[in-house]
Amino acid sequence: MLSAVLACWALGGCGASRPEPVAAHVAIEVVGEGVARTGVVAVDPGSEVRLHAVLEAHSEDGEAFYYTDAPALELAGRPVASESLSTWAGPRFAQVLWLTLEPERRYVELAGPERLERFAYDAFARPEWGRGWIAEAEFELSSQQDLEVNAGRTVDFGTRFVQAWVELSEQRDAILPQERFKSPGPEVLLENPASVTTLVLRSQGPLGAAQRAFGLAQLELAPELSEEGSSEAASAVRERLRALHEQGLAFSRIELLRDLTDDAGRPFAELAWSPVELGAGAGWGNDVAPGDLLRVGVRWVVLLEDAAEGAPGVLDGADRGLDFEQGASVVRLSEVFVGDGVVELARLAGTTQASAAVR
């Protein structure tokens, strides 16, 4: 139907009125599935995905049409009829500005409710993704804060909030657009996260909950607030922090550790810890696996991978883990477990429930 209407416009006939653009959306297509979706899309790291800009327009009688290059479209879980889809045919020129939404700070200590009220996300333009209706995006973390510590490994997992601005101009080289339509962005993310299209790159196994945290802000109670125990202010901050964690908008160490142990089907208090010496023979695959925990005292790390720089197949200081001391980072074990203290191992990978829900 929409294609027929467009043909009438192109010929200047049929008496059809042009649907007026009203809103923009971002939809994610997992290559091979043949449909692009808004909302939260969770995939394994390394999956090939495309971002599709969508411009929604309404006719005089309220009928909705959608301009996009997506092969098929789902909005908020509801399929859009194919006859309501079309590529943009003008007459104005359209360009898309792609953005990611990232926290203003990757680590925040909360000394009171007022600090939490100032927590926010900013939009970062991604010009390297081009200005077309489709972005075959690279999803490595972009802000410098998130790249400071990565142990020489690309951070290709985590949570990515994406936004598109569809800009319409009378001239192709216009400096400023005549109209701009923005998909939901940072101004609504914390109040209505379901409205912001989100890509979660995480494994389905024991690493998943820890990988999801990358790209999110880490929020922790400041020591002075923690000492207040059950005070009204401390309780209010804990409640809000837990809600942000469950919504996938931020994380804290204690909530993340609860996720990891819940996925393993055992409370933290019931984990079996055993001493292990780095570089002394503990083998990847038999003795340790990605998703297991290492700790010295209260400092803990989630094992990520056996690094080629060390002894292949042996757990040693060159191997990598996911650390959440002050913001999510990929670290070499030698950067964390140095000096005195017994290194202990808790096996989670062999017990993690395969059906653990995406958080």
Which residue in this structure is represented by tokens 């998909």?
Answer: 183
Q: How confident is the model at residue 350 (pLDDT cuts 50, 70, 90)?
A: low
190-204 pLDDT tens trace = 999 999 999 999 998
Spatial distance between the Cα atoms of 242 and 9, rounded to a whole number of angstroms: 52
Instruction: Report the pLDDT value the prediction gives residue 287, as an integer from 0 to 100.
Output: 93
Instruction: Report the pLDDT value the prediction gives residue 153, as an integer from 0 to 100.
Output: 77
Map residue 116 onto helix, strand or coil: helix
Q: Taking the alpha carbons of 129, 134, 140, 141 in that order, is the dihedral positive or negative?
A: positive
Is the pTM for the entire model greater than 0.85? Answer: yes
Q: How confident is the model at residue 104 (pLDDT cuts 50, 70, 90)?
A: confident
Q: What's phi and psi for 271, nearest 5 deg? A: -65, 140
Spatial distance between the Cα atoms of 337 and 280, rounded to a whole number of angstroms: 14
Map residue 11 onto helix, strand or coil: helix
Across 216-231, average pLDDT: 80
Instruction: Report the pLDDT value the prediction gives residue 149, as an integer from 0 to 100.
Output: 53
The helix or strand, by DSSP H or E, that contains position 187, with its residue range, turns out to be helix 186-189
Residue 229 has pLDDT above 80, yes or no: no
Across 89-99, average pLDDT: 94
Instruction: Report the pLDDT value the prediction gives residue 264, as an integer from 0 to 100.
Output: 86
| Assigned token pair, 175 | 């400096």
The helix or strand, by DSSP H or E, that contains position 329, with its residue range, turns out to be strand 329-332
Residue 304 has pLDDT above 60, yes or no: yes
11-20, 125-134, 182-191: segment of lowest average pLDDT: 11-20
